[in-house]
Amino acid sequence: MHQDKRKVVVIGAGSVGTAYIYALLQGGLAGEIVLLDIDTKRVEGEVMDLSHGLPFIPPVKIRAGDYNDCSDASLIVVTAGAKQKQGQSRLELIRSNVEIVGLICEKIKKSGSEAVFVMVTNPVDILTFLALQRLGWPKERVIGSGTVLDSSRFKYMLSMHCGIDARNVHAYILGEHGDSEVAAWSMTHIAGIPIKDYCAICGACDNLKTYEQITVEVRNSAYHIIDYKGSTYYGIGLSLVRISEAILRNENSVLTVSTLLEGEYGLSDICLSVPCIVGSGGVSSIITAKLDPAEQRALESSADVLREGLKSLS
Ligand code: NAD
C-alpha cells in the first residue's frame, strides 16, 4: 500500500469516472489522481477543467496518464466501457464490456501494480469475477463497487420514509448489482433497533406494504434515472469516494462491495455483494450473517443469475 502517495488511477473518463474524481478531489483524500481513457482528447479536457478548481481545495495533483501509472498506485478504479441505454439491464452490457475490461486488465497486470482494484463498469459482479481471473491477484485486492450504491439508495429511501437521518439507518442490499439484488430486511436497523421492532413502536404505516414498495423502488432506481436523464453518475461517484476512504484510510469499514465468495452464505465461485470489511488491502474479511430463509434463497437465486451471465460468455 503506497499510503504516502495516495495515488488513485481512474480508467474511464466518462460521466462516472469524472463524477467520482470531482467528489474525490474535494475531500483531500487522494494525493495524486491520474486519468486514462482511449479518448485522450477527452482526458485532456477533463483534466484541464478539474484542475481549474484546484486553488479552492486541499492540495492534490491531477493529470492524464498511461498504464505505467498503475505500477505505484494505491487504488485503481475502472469505469471504462458501455453504459445502459433506456430499458436495458446491466447484464445486457456483458458482451460490449467483457472485451474492454479484459484488455484493461492485461495492461494493468503488466504494470506490476500492487494496488487495490475496484471494478465499476457493468455488469459489475461478472466483470469483477473476470478481472480477478485476468489479473491473477489475491481476491482481497480485486473488488467491485457492487451494491454500495444500492445500499445507499436503500438507506436514503428508508430515512425519507421514517423521517430519520440516513446516518442512523443501517441497511444492506446484497447479491447482484442488478435486477436480482436482495434487500436484507433482517439486517436492517434504525437507531440500533431491528426494523420490525422499530415499526412496532412507530406504527405510522403498513410496514409490510412499505417494505415491498421500498425494495422495488431501490431496485428500479437506475431505470428511473436513466429514463429521466440518460445515465447515473453522482450517486455512484459518492459511493466510490466512500469505498476509496475505506481503502486509502485503512478504515476497516463494512461495505457491500462485490467480492469472490468461497463458501460464505453457502456460495462459491462467484463475485457478488455481501457485507465486507474493507481496508488498505481491500476486503480483509467477509461478515457472514444469518439471513432470513427467504433472503437466503433470494441470494442463492441472485448468484444463479450471475452464473448464467458468466455461462453465456462461453
Ligand atoms: P460513459 O460513456 O460516459 O464513459 C465511458 C468511458 O469509457 C468513455 O469515456 C470511453 O471513451 C471509455 N472507454 C471505452 N473503452 C475504453 C478502453 N478500452 N479503455 C479506456 N477507456 C475506455 O459511461 P459512464 O456513464 O461513465 O458509465 C461507465 C460504466 O459505469 C458503465 O458500464 C455503466 O453501466 C457503469 N456504472 C456502474 C455503476 C455501478 O454502481 N457499478 C453505476 C453507474 C454506472
Which helix (H) or strand (E) segment holds residue 189: the answer is strand 189-190
Question: CA nearest 113: which of 66, 81, 79, 43?
Answer: 66
Q: Are residues 58 and 181 in the same domain?
A: no
- Band the pLDDT of 192: cuts 50, 70, 90: very high
Distance 287 CA to ligand 1 centre (A): 30
Closest ligand 1 atom to Cα of 124: 41
Distance 81 CA to ligand 1 centre (A): 4
Please indicate, yes or no, if residue 2 is contained in any of the structural domains. no
Q: Which three cell numbers stand for residue 191?
A: 437507531
- Band the pLDDT of 2: cuts 50, 70, 90: very low
Closest ligand 1 atom to Cα of 103: 18
Q: Which three cell numbers stand for residue 240?
A: 466510490
Which CATH number does the domain housing residue 83 bear?
3.40.50.720
**What count of residues does the chain have?**
314
Domain coverage including residue 211 = 148-311
Note the pLDDT of residue 232. 96
Summarize the confidence of residues 126-131 as an average pLDDT: 98
Summarize the confidence of residues 258-263 as an average pLDDT: 98
Note the pLDDT of residue 207. 84
The count of structural domains within the chain is 2
Please indicate, yes or no, if residue 252 is contained in any of the structural domains. yes
Q: Are residues 296 and 162 in the same domain?
A: yes
Q: Are residues 108 and 192 in the same domain?
A: no
Kindly name the residue from 2, 52, 170, 177 that is annotated as catalytic: 177
Q: Are residues 274 and 153 in the same domain?
A: yes
Closest ligand 1 atom to Cα of 18: 26
Q: Which residue among 15, 18, 79, 104 has the greatest number of ligand 1 atoms within 8 angstroms of its CB, and so is best to mutate?
A: 79
C-alpha to C-alpha distance for 124 and 219, rounded to whole angstroms: 15
- Band the pLDDT of 92: cuts 50, 70, 90: confident
Q: Are residues 251 and 198 in the same domain?
A: yes
Alpha helices in 6-69 (DSSP H): 15-27, 40-51
Note the pLDDT of residue 88. 86
User: Is the pLDDT assigned to residue 5 strictly greater than 80?
Assistant: no
User: Is the pLDDT assigned to residue 87 strictly greater than 90?
Assistant: no
- Band the pLDDT of 4: cuts 50, 70, 90: low
Q: Are residues 173 and 276 in the same domain?
A: yes
**pLDDT one-digit tens code per residue, 132-173:** 999 999 999 999 999 999 999 999 999 999 999 999 999 999
Please indicate, yes or no, if residue 1 is contained in any of the structural domains. no
User: Is the pLDDT assigned to residue 95 strictly greater than 90?
Assistant: no
Please indicate, yes or no, if residue 265 is contained in any of the structural domains. yes
CB-based contact 182:299 (threshold 8 Å): yes
Q: Which of 83, 113, 144 is the last residue of a domain?
A: 144
Distance 115 CA to ligand 1 centre (A): 20
Three-class secondary structure of residue 314 per DSSP: coil
Please indicate, yes or no, if residue 197 is contained in any of the structural domains. yes
Q: Are residues 186 and 125 in the same domain?
A: no
Residue nearest to atom 15 of ligand 1 (CA): 81
Q: Are residues 70 and 173 in the same domain?
A: no
**Could you tell me the pTM of the whole model?**
0.97
Share of the chain above pLDDT 70, in %: 99
Q: Which of 125, 144, 163 is the last residue of a domain?
A: 144
Summarize the confidence of residues 244-266 as an average pLDDT: 98
- Band the pLDDT of 3: cuts 50, 70, 90: very low
Please indicate, yes or no, if residue 250 is contained in any of the structural domains. yes
User: Is the pLDDT assigned to residue 294 strictly greater than 70?
Assistant: yes
Q: Which of 95, 116, 144 is the last residue of a domain?
A: 144
Residue nearest to atom 36 of ligand 1 (CA): 121
Distance 97 CA to ligand 1 centre (A): 9
Pocket of ligand 1 (CB under 6 A): 11-17, 37-39, 42, 79-84, 93, 97, 100, 103-104, 120-122, 124, 145, 149, 177, 231-233, 236
177 is catalytic: yes
User: Is the pLDDT assigned to residue 40 strictly greater than 90?
Assistant: yes
- Band the pLDDT of 1: cuts 50, 70, 90: very low
Please indicate, yes or no, if residue 48 is contained in any of the structural domains. yes
